[in-house]
Amino acid sequence: MPSALASLPERILLGPGPSNVHPRVMRALSAPVVGHLDPAFISVMEELKGLLRKVFCTKNEFAVPLSGTGSAGMEAALANVIEPADSVIVCINGVFGTRMKEIAERCGANVVTVEAPWGSSIDAGDVERALKATPGVKLVAFVHAETSTGVLQPVDDICRLAHEHGALILADAVTSLGGAPVLTDDWGLDIVYSGTQKCLSCPPGLAPVTFNERALDVIRRRKTKVQSWYLDATMLMRYWGEERVYHHTAPISMNYALCEALRLVLEEGLEARWKRHVRNHRALVAGIEAMGLSMAVNDAVRAPMLNAVVVPDGIDEKRVRRSMLDGMNVEIGAGLGPLAGKIWRIGLMGYSSKPENVLTCLSALNAALREQGKRCPNGLNAAIDAFQMD
């Protein structure tokens, strides 16, 4: 029987993740596997830590890739600093804020939520009111780029308010890292986690995280053990630090891949990379609007790497996605939760964020809509004009 691997198609991945992987990263995956405590791999570990500090824009000593997906990063970020009965504020405006709330509750926290409608950003005034109403808040957690809605959350006021009330601030940067500014030190973020498969354009499987000394001090002074043995930062620090005490067998090849992916980010330059994501986002939006379609998120808080497009009335959104996949090998994503069936999520992340993909996506979407009798104006010229104006 032939293997299913033999018939895997080459897709243009323009959904909410994963993104397409750069050929250099694919080649890195095929490098010789060595032991996880081999001096050669330790050199890779050290290089990774230095690269992550630069991409996270931090001087934190603890900046490492956890062996697990972005959800493992989320759980590690919360489980390490939360103890039973701690008061925690979680900002919710989509799927991943909801997931943080559930993890915090499993850690035994007293969770106070600050919520906004899906597709809107969190109001800093609501965070301030929650902080004033909840004495002794230990942690404020928010999603920087909410993958389920395409909202890029303004952070300055939330960070300032959290620190004014003595709370740690935690940011989910799974979708934003490498595609928009994540200024860990300048913003005063105490804990940040991400994933590899979005704007870093590495296969899924690792969760870059960073904790500053303020957060690490909280972890060291815990009265109870971290509920997760695997994600216990005190143990991981010993493995990733100078001691190199065995903790688990790291996914060697995935670490090679992330190392190369981070090198590509820095070769391009962070600011150039952020600008590229904005440029392609603006061209896509111009094309979408020229087709007579609309964006689901206000321009002021749109995430450039994750574009939420409103499904027109009378259109079977699932059939559109399948037509784009079958007809032009273009993958886009569906809405989740209350936005299921109401939006498409078009990712322009990392290696997938390029002009040719913008134009291919617009063409494929137009063709798929025509199959259902909706004749849209051509959005290609508007996108090309946007590229030329930039």
- Residue where a domain stops, chosen among 250, 267, 284: 267
Residue type, 118: W
Q: Is the residue at 323 inside a domain?
A: yes
Cis check for the bond before 18: say yes or no (omega within 30 of 0): yes
Residue type, 154: P
Q: Are residues 108 and 248 in the same domain?
A: yes
Contact 347, 307 (CB under 8 A): yes
What b-and-e string marks burial along 206-239, b requiring 16 or more CB atoms within 10 Å of the CB? bbbbbbbeebbebbeeeeeebbeebbbbebbbeb
Give the structural domain span for 193: 23-267
Contacts 24+ apart (CB under 8 A), 152-157: 152/121, 152/176, 152/180, 152/301, 152/302, 152/303, 152/304, 153/91, 153/93, 153/121, 153/122, 153/301, 154/121, 154/124, 154/301, 155/187, 155/189, 156/187, 157/124, 157/127
- Which residue in 120, 329, 83 sits closest to 224, CA to CA? 83
Task: Report the CATH number that the domain containing residue 306 is assigned in CATH.
Answer: 3.90.1150.10
Q: Is the residue at 12 inside a domain?
A: no
- Residue where a domain stops, chosen among 236, 267, 298: 267
Q: Is the residue at 315 inside a domain?
A: yes
Helical segments of the chain, H only: 23-29, 39-56, 70-81, 95-106, 124-133, 156-164, 184-187, 213-220, 233-240, 252-268, 270-290, 317-328, 355-371, 380-389
What's the pTM value of the predicted model, to 2 decimals? Answer: 0.96
Task: Report the CATH number that the domain containing residue 42 is assigned in CATH.
Answer: 3.40.640.10
pLDDT in tens for each of the 390 residues of the chain? 789 988 899 999 999 999 999 999 999 999 999 999 899 999 999 999 999 999 999 999 999 999 999 999 999 999 999 999 999 999 999 999 999 999 999 999 999 999 999 999 999 999 999 999 999 999 999 999 999 999 999 999 999 999 999 999 999 999 999 999 999 999 999 999 999 999 999 999 999 999 999 999 999 999 999 999 999 999 999 999 888 888 999 999 999 999 999 999 999 999 999 999 999 999 999 999 999 999 999 999 999 999 999 999 999 999 999 999 999 999 999 999 999 999 999 999 999 999 999 999 999 999 999 999 999 999 999 999 999 987
- Residue where a domain stops, chosen among 267, 301, 325: 267
